[in-house]
Each structure stands twice: as C-alpha cells, then as structure tokens.
Structure 1
Amino acid sequence: MLNAIEVILICLVAQAALTDLAVRKIPNVLVLSGLLLALILHLLSSPPWAPLSQWLAGTVAGFFLFLPLYLMRGMAAGDVKLMAMVGGFSGPALALQIAVLSYLIGGVMALLMLGCSGRWRDTARNLGQICKPLLWRLLGMPLLPVPLAPAASVGGIPYGVAIALGTIGVVAWTHH
C-alpha cells in the first residue's frame, strides 16, 4: 500500500508530465511547492534528523543527477528542478533509481521521436558538437575556451513525462 508521501509525489509528477506535454514547461510553483510539501511531510512523519538526511540529501542528489545533461544543453532547467523535487520526496537512494529509469525512458522517447521526425542527421551533428570537446580532452589535447555555437534543435523531449514514468515505476517496484 502506498504511503501519503508516495501518493502526493505521484500526483505532483503526473501534473508536471501533463503540463510538460501541454506547454513544454514545468512550472516553478509546482516544483517549489512540492519541495516544501516534501519537507513538511518528512518533518511530520520522521525523527528530527530524518528531514536533513532524506529531504536535503535527496534534493541535492536529484539535482546533481540531472545537472550534467542541463549543462550540455540536453535538458531544460525545469527537468533538473523536477528531479530535485522527486529526490526531496524519495531520498537519495530512490532518487538514483528514479533518475536511471528516467534516463532510460527518456532515451526510448528520444529514439521514438527521432524515428517519427526523421531528423537523424541533425541529431548526429548536434551530438558530435557536444561530444567533440570531451573526446579531444580525453585524447590529451589542450582545449581553449570556445563558446559553443547554438545548434539547431531537433525537437525537445517532454522529459517531465520520463521523470513521471520513472518515478511511478520505481514506486511500484518497491511495492511489488
């Protein structure tokens, strides 16, 4: 049986997914109210030290698990903030599991969207632009700081949907 924290989390990520599908944004008010609600629920249901260990560690873990993709322009800031909120509810261990499952679901979504749009060549060019500096650095070549030229987007992925499905999947798995 799901507890109150899990039910509220599922409702919030479902709302984020629907909003992301409709307007391609995840509202800050949803994320901030979710973070505050998670903290309050942890305070009410746990020993005094639990909010720090569960809420704060989960929030930080969720944030930093998605930050690299945001920094490489592979994801929007709302997705990173949503994952931080999910971590605030779930704690760091489950946040890691949710992030991994969300990455997998997001990858499948990206492949399906690419298959439908037929923009494989543009995607390969963008991926090469992102990975080339990393590859050169791994080969030991010194790099001069050069700003990345803006790449033509091949379409955004509503990653809020992937995060919602990943969250629901991990929560369901913990109760099977």
Structure 2
Amino acid sequence: MLNAIEVILICLVTQAALTDLAMRKIPNVLVLSGLLLALLLHLLSGPPWAPLSQWLAGILAGFFLFLPLYLLRGMAAGDVKLMAMVGGFTGPWLALHIAALSYLIGGVMALLMLLASGRWRDSARNLWQICKPLLLRLLGVPLQPVPLAPAASVGSIPYGVAIALGTAGMLAWTHH
C-alpha cells in the first residue's frame, strides 16, 4: 500500500509526464511546488534531520544522476529538475533506483521512436561522430583538437514519461 508521500509523488510525475507529452516541457512551477511539498512532508513525518538526510540528499542524487545526459544534450533541463524533485520525495537510495529504471525506459522509448520515425541511420551517424575520436584515441592515434560539429537532431523524447513510469514502477516494486 502506497503512503501519502508516494501518492502525491505519483500525481506530480503523472502531471509532468502529461505536460511533457503535450508541450515537450516540464513546468518549473510543478517542480518547485513538488520540492517544497516534499520538504514540508519530510518535516511533518520524520525526525528533525530528515529534511537534510532525505530531502536534500535525494535532490542532489536525482540532479547529479541526470546531469551528465543533460550536459551531453541528451535530455532537457526540465527532466533533470524533475528527477531532482523525485529524489526530494524518495531520498537518495530510491532516487538511484528510479533513475536507473527511468534510463532503461527512456532508452527503450528512444529506440522505438527512432525505429518508428526511420531516423535510426541518422542516429547511428551521430553516435559514430561522437565516439570516433574517443575510439581513435584509445587506439593510440594522436588527434588534434577539433571542435565537434553540431549534429542534426534526430528528435526528442518526452523523458518526463520515462521518469513517471520509472517512479511508479520502482514504488510498486518496493511494495510488492
């Protein structure tokens, strides 16, 4: 049986997923409201150190678990902020599990969308362009620094959906 904090979190990530599907954007007001609500709920339901140990550590875990993909331009800032909010509710350990499941779900979504759109060749070309210098360097080939040419985007996925599914799936898993 889900507790009140988890039900509220499911409602928030569901709203984020629906908004992301409709507008390809996760509103900052939703994330900020969720962060403040998570803090308030932790203050009311736990020991005095709960906000620091669960809320803040969860936010930092959620944020830093998704930051690398944002820096590689693989997801939008709203997705990173949403995962930080999820961490604020769940704490760092569960945020790690939710992020891992969300990555898996997002990867499957991306593959399905690439196959459906027929842009998988463009995606493979972009991946090769990113990986080629690294592979050559690993083989010992000296390389001159060259700025990476911007690759044409092959589309975007509503990653808020992956985060919502990952959150709901992991919460359900913890209660089975």
Matches within 5 A, 1:33-112: 33-112=33-112
Find the aligned partners of 1:46 and 1:126 in 2 and give their Cα distance.
48
Q: TM-score, normalised by structure 1?
A: 0.93
Q: Structure 1, residues 135-175: CA drift from partner, whole Å, max 9, x if none?
A: 34545667665443221111101000000000000000111
Q: Write the letter of the residue equivalent to 1:104.
A: L
Q: Percent identity among equivalent residues?
A: 88
Question: Structure 2 counterpart of 1:106, which letter?
Answer: G
Once the two structures are superposed, residues 83-138 of structure 1 have per-residue CA deviations (whole angstroms, 9 ceiling, x without a partner) of 00000100001001000100110111011101111111110111123333443454
Ranges in structure 2 where 5+ consecutive residues have no aligned partner = none
Alpha-carbon separation, structure 2, partners of 1:135 and 1:25:
35
Over 3 Å counting, the alpha-carbon distance change for 1:117 and 1:4 in structure 2 is: same
How far apart in 2 are the matches of 1:50 and 1:144?
Answer: 50
Aligned-residue CA RMSD (Å): 1.6
Q: Which amino acid aligns with 2:67?
A: L
Which residues in structure 2 correspond to 1:1-176 (within 5 Å)?
Answer: 1-139=1-139, 146-176=146-176
Paired residues, number = 176
The answer to whether the 8 Å contact 1:61/1:84 transfers is yes
Structure 2 CA distance, aligned partners of 1:99 and 1:88?
A: 13
For residues 172 and 118 of structure 2, what CA distance do their matches in structure 1 show?
34
TM-score, with structure 2 as normaliser: 0.93
Counterparts in 2 of 1:173 and 1:153: CA distance versus 1, 3 Å: same
Letter in 2 for 1:86: V
Rounded to whole Å, the distance in 2 between the matches of 1:3 and 1:68 is: 32
Aligned-partner residue type, residue 3 of structure 1 = N
CA contact (8 A) 1:72 1:130 kept: no
Q: Which amino acid aligns with 1:150?
A: P
The 8 Å contact of residues 62 and 80 in structure 1, kept in 2 or not, is answered as: yes
SS across alignment from 1:148: coil
Ranges in structure 1 where 5+ consecutive residues have no aligned partner: none
Separation in structure 2 between the aligned mates of residue 175 and residue 141 of structure 1, nearest angstrom: 52
What is the rounded CA distance, in whole Å, between the counterparts of 1:82 and 1:137 in structure 2?
Answer: 36
Alpha-carbon distance between aligned partners in 1 of 2:113 and 2:52, rounded to the nearest angstrom: 39
Structure 1 position 38, deviation (Å): 0.6
